Amino acid sequence: MSLTQDTLFTRIIRREIPADIVYEDNLAIAFRDINPQAPVHILVVPKEPIAQLSDAESQNHALMGHLLLTVKRVAAQLGLENGYRVVINNGADGGQTVPHLHLHLLGGRPLLWPPG
C-alpha cells in the first residue's frame, strides 16, 4: 500500500497509532471510538481502505457482509443483549470525517430516533 492511501485507520491497523482494539481478523478490525457517543461505541473497519460506502463495488460483496457479521459478533462479545445501533456516515452530508469506511456500533443505553 502506498503512503497516499494512508488514513488514520490504516495507521491504527498497522499499530502506528494506539487504539483500544476489541476484535481483529484478516479482513477487519474493531476498536473503541476515541470520542464515544454511548457507553459502548466501537468502530468496525475493513483493512482494505475503501474510502466510503458509496465507493464499495460488487467485488466487495463478501467483505460488506463480513463487516455486518463482525458488528454482530462484537456486539455479542461486549454484552449488548438489549440491542444496539449500527451507523455508516457516508460523505460530507452524512457527517463522515475519516475517509476510510467504518461502521459505528453504538449501545449500552437507549438511543433516540431520529438522529440529528
* Rounded least distance, CB 97 to ligand AMP, Å: 4
Q: Which residues are catalytic?
A: 102
* Rounded least distance, CB 96 to ligand AMP, Å: 4
Give the containing element (helix H, strand E) for 30: strand 28-32
Q: Three cell numbers at 26?
A: 484478516
Put residue 25 in one of left, alpha, beta given phi > 0 → left and psi -120 to 50 → alpha: beta
**Closer CB to ligand AMP, 9 or 66, in the complex:** 9
**Closer CB to ligand AMP, 18 or 81, in the complex:** 18
Q: Which residues bind ligand AMP (CB under 6 A)?
A: 8, 17, 19, 33-35, 43, 89, 95-98
φ and ψ at residue 66, rounded to 5 degrees:
-60, -40
